Structure 1
């Protein structure tokens, strides 16, 4: 897991989002947007009680509460890059993603709906 991620360059993020919208996104676009939105989530929901995983690109710990330091965290959210980008950009609702099984969330504080969609950063 990475320490702190940094939001992406706004122009690069906008271009990657456009390619996602057109259906022409490459793996590099998904990586950029995943890391960008995870970095924004880190900034907007600081803490270390919930681990948000978007394999294979990145994972972050967010939301105030009991700090996790070793092993599998007690609170985990996991999803794929396309779902994460949809949630973070407002194209997909949290409840819909959870109901469809596109997001797995276990443990306390794993409902990310209060934080989504994310501000541009």
Structure 2
């Protein structure tokens, strides 16, 4: 099944990241960056053993391993859009996100530290 997510236009990503860093990002910027960086992660870590959820905008299945076909996958990562963008751009370390509770991870293969940052 092909991904529904595609990397965004580089100019749009750059502008949205700039607004995030200035603290002037809006919901549309967070949606664009969330979907963009999930698409980048999906390309860099293909597979279907871990589901990364960033509600309310998107979720992807990544990382090679045991594939699930229905129901809740055995490995899940969930975070909010602001945290996901911070992780993807290098503004927040994976370990710090987990320790602070800004990201939740359960199951095998949920350590994204080798894939982050994505920008």
What's the TM-score once normalised by structure 2's chain length? 0.97
User: C-alpha offsets along residues 44-77 of structure 1, whole Å, 9 cap, x if unaligned?
Assistant: 0000000000000000000000011100111000
Instruction: Map 1:14-25 to 2 at 5 A.
Output: 14-25=14-25
Per the alignment, residue 71 of structure 2 pairs with 71
1:113 matches 2:74: no
Instruction: Map 1:1-80 to 2 at 5 A.
Output: 3-80=3-80
Cα RMSD after superposing both structures: 1.1
Give the gaps of 5 or more residues in structure 1. none
Give the gaps of 5 or more residues in structure 2. none
Instruction: Map 1:92-111 to 2 at 5 A.
Output: 92-111=92-111
Regions of 4+ moved over 4 Å: none
What's the TM-score once normalised by structure 1's chain length? 0.95
| Count of residues in Structure 1 that have an aligned counterpart in Structure 2 | 118
